[in-house]
């Protein structure tokens, strides 16, 4: 698989987006978000999404010129419509508004509907944590349902991510960010591209039989993913749709199935100032003690707290580069007007 430096990929993605008619500032923001996701080990939400994004632009599912629209302002409660714009932009803008309202009210509940793919939800938790705030995020995927409810026979949910971010004084934040399915849908795409099997017990074929073949998530007749943790993950997936979409004005998975390549997300974010609760300013010490207590479960460094795997991937890939699977690379090459300079060494990393 080709290996590239993050600096090269940032410029390469910008060029493709610019060719697709995306404004320079927006192209840069989207490219940086996707490269950062790949650097943190989330290839499913990283650079290989660009071909699909460009298809979505051509199909009219993604509007690169869309503006975030404030639809309701109730002080600490805000509602926004993303108008099918880049989620990398609308997500960041919503969090900026939420952070501003927290400074005024101590808390903000912000709903975002009808935005294109929000990417790695952990990025929005990190944005809040950088401002010293805790955030919770419930999102749904308004595309083809791919996940079975517990004891269900037909898929009814998206991979519907859930995320919590907590700032840690003097250290990176603790960020819990996961799909409510056993694996994210795009991880199946990466496995399919690379010719790898899926992890055991995370997917079924069209007859409901366990399978490790990602083909069942990529080609007709389609199978489905399972929710993590049986009834627990299934219940959380439902709540992400109810909170992320049904009450924000977005479309739940019960809406008519979209036919294009776009990925529509909706999200509810709760952002608040932790110093205003019972522990007050001492909350930071309580957080640090609990994290250290958790680490003492082992005597080595093999116990990872939420977000630490991403930090390790980031350091490694920043130095050694980012791999792109061969299938995705061919998709890049096939993009209209694609060109690739000969000098793409990871030495830029």
- Domain boundaries, given as residue ranges, for the chain: 1-59+307-349, 69-181+227-306
Per CATH, the number for 1-59+307-349 is 1.10.1530.10
Q: What pTM, to 2 d.p., does this model score? A: 0.94
- CA dist 116 to 21, 98, 252, 329, Å? 16, 19, 14, 23
Contact 87, 114 (CB under 8 A): no
Per-residue pLDDT in tens (0 to 9) along the chain, 349 residues:
899 999 999 999 999 999 999 999 999 999 999 999 999 999 999 999 999 999 999 999 999 999 999 999 999 999 999 999 999 999 999 999 999 999 999 999 999 999 999 999 999 999 999 999 999 999 999 888 999 999 999 999 999 999 999 999 999 999 999 999 999 998 999 999 999 999 999 999 999 999 999 999 999 999 999 999 999 999 999 999 999 999 999 999 999 887 899 999 999 999 999 999 999 999 999 999 999 999 999 999 899 999 999 999 999 999 999 999 999 999 998 885 544 443 444 434 4
Order the strands of the 147-148 sheet from edge to edge: 147-148, 224-226, 203-204
Give 69-181+227-306's CATH code, choosing from 3.30.300.90, 3.40.50.720, 1.10.3720.10, 3.30.1370.60: 3.30.1370.60
Secondary structure of residue 268 in the 3-state scheme? strand
Asked whether this chain's domains 1-59+307-349 and 69-181+227-306 adopt the same fold, the reply is no
Respond yes or no on whether the N-terminal peptide bond of residue 221 is cis (omega within 30° of 0): yes
| Contacts of residue 32, Cβ cutoff 8 Å, sequence gap at least 6 | 10
């Amino acid at each position: 698989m080709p290996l590239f430096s993050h600096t090269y990929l940032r410029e390469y993605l910008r060029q493709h987006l610019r060719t697709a008619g995306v404004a320079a500032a927006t192209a840069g923001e989207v490219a940086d978000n996707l490269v950062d996701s790949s650097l943190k080990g989330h290839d499913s939400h990283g650079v290989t999404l660009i071909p699909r994004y460009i298809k979505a632009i051509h199909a009219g599912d993604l509007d690169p010129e869309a503006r975030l629209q404030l639809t309701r302002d109730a002080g600490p409660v805000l509602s926004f419509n993303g108008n099918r714009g880049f989620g990398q932009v609308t997500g960041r803008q919503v969090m900026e508004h939420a952070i501003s309202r927290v400074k005024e009210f101590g808390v903000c509940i912000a709903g975002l509907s009808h935005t294109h793919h929000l990417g790695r939800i952990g990025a929005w938790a990190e944005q809040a944590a950088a401002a010293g705030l805790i955030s919770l995020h419930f999102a749904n995927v308004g595309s083809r349902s791919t996940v079975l409810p517990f004891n269900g026979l037909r898929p009814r949910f998206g991979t519907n991510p859930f995320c919590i971010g907590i700032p840690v004084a003097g250290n990176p934040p603790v960020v819990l960010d996961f799909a409510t399915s056993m694996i994210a849908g795009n991880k199946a795409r990466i496995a399919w591209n690379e010719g790898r099997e899926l992890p055991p017990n995370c997917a079924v074929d069209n007859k409901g039989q366990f399978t490790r073949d990602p083909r069942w998530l990529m080609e007709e007749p389609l199978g489905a993913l399972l929710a993590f943790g049986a009834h627990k993950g299934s219940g959380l997936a439902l709540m992400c749709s109810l909170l992320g979409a049904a009450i924000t004005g977005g479309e739940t998975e019960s809406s008519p199935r979209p036919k294009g390549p776009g990925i529509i997300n909706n999200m509810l974010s709760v952002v608040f100032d932790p110093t205003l609760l019972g522990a007050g300013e001492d909350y930071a010490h309580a957080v640090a003690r609990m994290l250290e207590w958790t680490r003492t479960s082992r005597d080595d460094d093999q116990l990872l707290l939420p977000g630490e795997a991403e930090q390790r991937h980031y350091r490694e890939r920043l130095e050694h580069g980012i791999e792109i699977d061969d299938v995705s690379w061919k998709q890049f090459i096939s993009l209209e007007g694609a060109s690739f300079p000969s000098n793409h060494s990871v030495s830029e990393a």
